[in-house]
Amino acid sequence: MFKGSIVALITPFNNNVLDQGKYESLIHYHIANGTKGVVPAGTTGESPTLNHGEHKKVIEIAVKECNGKIPVIAGTGSNSTAEAIELSKHAEKSGADGLLIVTPYYNKPTQEGLYQHYKLINDNVGIPIIIYNIPPRSVVDMSVDTMSRLFELKNIAGVKDATADLNRVNQQLKKMGPEFIQLSGEDGTAMEFNARGGVGCISVTANVAAKLCSDFQEASLK
């Protein structure tokens, strides 16, 4: 379900108000140019600075405008487990196809803490969850073993890997197998990522170069 060029959507504002028209246009630009999925309210969409109303609205708009044409993976992560559950349940109710959950930033949880955080979210929703592992920004690295434990749960489907360590692709493939969805979180290493067993990229560059990113992903996956 989740592969190829998936865009981490920006959230356009005008005079401090969500520019819904521009946001809708951006989504349709992606549909027309071969993007294989969108991520509303991710960190590229400035989720930490959106209020809850804005956060929920951009997810609802994305679901409505995509209208089943391409999947919507809603960014619903937080360093508060309760907040992540609330946002995730809303996204599922709104019709999102999946969830992107970033590792809790600032808190620096243990590996067991990471497991329990994701398990609680998993237990409260019924759609696929993509783990977003980005140690440079969250200051915590989910280990391959912890990821493997989580993959045993019903909704944990894969990872957006922004560790910048390409060896992790091989390690995760060996531990979890090809059914575990591996998506790159780094445009610059997306080709090598796919060569090692990845199936796509959640891309920032695709915001301004949707067709190039889509064609690149199609070619590399072939």
Residues carrying an active site annotation = 132, 160
Considering only CA atoms, which of 53, 120, 51, 107 is closest in space to residue 79?
Answer: 107
- Angle, CA 43 vertex, CA 38 and CA 46 arms, to 5°: 100
CB 44 within 8 A of CB 205: no
Tell me the sheet residues that pair with 201: 5, 184
Tokens, residue 98: 């999946």
CA distance 189 to 201: 9
DSSP 78: -
Whether 7 contacts 39, CB under 8 Å: yes
Tokens of 172: 């995760």
Query: In this structure, is the dihedral angle defined by the CA atoms of residues 164, 40, 158 and 155, taken in order, positive or negative?
Result: positive
